[in-house]
Structures are given as C-alpha cells and as structure tokens.
Amino acid sequence: MPNKVRQMLLMDDHVCPWWLCFTFDNPLRRLIHNPEKMLRDWIAPGQTVIDVGCGMGYFTLPMARLVGATGHVIAVDLQAQMLDRLQRRAERAGLQARIQPHRCQPNTLALSEPADFILTFWMVHEVPNQAAFLQEVRNLLKPTAPYLLVEPKLHVAAADFRKTVETAQAVGLRPIAQPKVGLSRAVLVEPAM
C-alpha cells in the first residue's frame, strides 16, 4: 500500500483511526459497556477526572454527568477528529461546560492538573512507550485516586496485559481490584505509598 494512503488510513501502526471508532462507539455498546454502572463507584460530584484516549467520548459524556455541574472532565486524545466529534456530542448533550478537550502529543500527555480519577479504555496497547505513559498517569493522580486501565481482549493477550500491569507496578501503581468488564481485561490501581 502506498505510504500516503497508509497514513490516511492509520495515523501510525498503533493508533486506532478515527473512522474505525464508529464501529464500536454506538448505542448497542451499552449492552456490554454501561459507563454509569461501570464508573459510578469511583467518580463523585465536584471531581476532576481524566479520560485519556477518549475517542469520540463514549465514556467522557457519562463521566461529565457523574462529576456534575461543579466538576470537570479532561478529555485527552491524539487525534483532532476524535476531539471534534466529542465536542459536537458534548454540545448536543448540554455538557460542554464540564468537558475540557485536550489534544496531547504522541510522547506526552502535556497535562499537570491533579486528578481524582483517570480512565484509559482500550488505549494503552496503542502507546509505544507504556512505562513513560504510565509514569505520566501516575504523576497526575492525587495520593489515593484510582486509575482504571481497561484493554480489549481481542488485541491484548493475557500475557501482554500482565506485562502492562507489571509496568504499572514498576512506576508506583498498586493493583487494588480486577473489575469485570465485557470483552476486556481490566485492573484498578492507585498510587503506591
């Protein structure tokens, strides 16, 4: 395939192209992934939470409802097309005031605001340097703030997920639960003291 066409289809070998998001970001997905049910134990009104690799906002919008009018969600993605669609959805839902879209760089999140909760849903396998990425996530968490890391079973074998969890532990993140998430491997971690 010529390079230019390849670049149009895939930003690089790892990153999910924006148009492919339509295949899994749709109303039927709620049958498998119910965001409110999945996240309500870890997100409370007034909090600052981060959805890293937010895509078109499947989780961002429910997170904005959970933090309420006094909280906010930082929605981070590499791709402008994802953030554009997220913003349109947020406007339609009347939630734009609670959502701060943030376009990051491939090698850094470029964020400094401490978070009460962080989500990475089906994105860490797209990150080439997981140790550096997880260290950045670790640095953004408040002392007892949870981070939910969810990976797709289809793309991430059990052994690879174990390596990711080991990498998380190596940068100072302690596993505290293994929530059940449809079609996924998941771990909840928090900063180790």
Ligand X SMILES: C[S@@+](CC[C@H](N)C(=O)[O-])C[C@H]1O[C@@H](n2cnc3c(N)ncnc32)[C@H](O)[C@@H]1O
Show the site string, 11-40: x = touches ligand X by CB under 6 A, - = not: ----xx----x---x---------------
d(CA 67, CA 80): 24
Closest CB to ligand X among residues 5, 154: 154
- Least CB distance to ligand X at residue 193 (A): 27
Interface pick for ligand X out of 47, 85, 115, 122 (rule CB under 6 A): 122
- Least CB distance to ligand X at residue 75 (A): 10
Angstrom CA distances, 150 to 13, 84, 103, 186, 187, stand at: 20, 24, 21, 4, 7
Cβ contact 149:187 at 8 Å: yes
Q: Which regions of 14-142 does DSSP assign to beta strands (E)? A: 48-52, 72-77, 99-103, 117-121
Closest CB to ligand X among residues 153, 174: 153
End-to-end CA distance of the chain: 49
Q: Which stretch binds ligand X (CB under 6 A): 117-125, 140-148, 158-166, 185-193?
A: 117-125
82 part of the interface to ligand X, by CB under 6 A: yes
Closest CB to ligand X among residues 7, 144: 7
Cβ contact 51:119 at 8 Å: yes
- Least CB distance to ligand X at residue 35 (A): 9
Interface pick for ligand X out of 79, 164, 167, 184 (rule CB under 6 A): 79
Angstrom CA distances, 139 to 54, 97, 124, 169, 175, stand at: 19, 26, 16, 13, 16
Closest CB to ligand X among residues 70, 125: 125
d(CA 42, CA 20): 29
48 part of the interface to ligand X, by CB under 6 A: no
Considering only residues 126 through 145, tell me which ones interact with ligand X, judged by CB under 6 A: 126-127
Query: How many other CB atoms sit within 10 Å of the CB of residue 170?
Result: 11
76 part of the interface to ligand X, by CB under 6 A: yes
Ordered DSSP codes for 155-173: TS-HHHHHHHHHHHHHTTE
**Interface contacts to ligand X, rule CB under 6 A:** 15-16, 21, 25, 52-55, 58-59, 76-79, 82, 104, 106, 121-123, 126-127
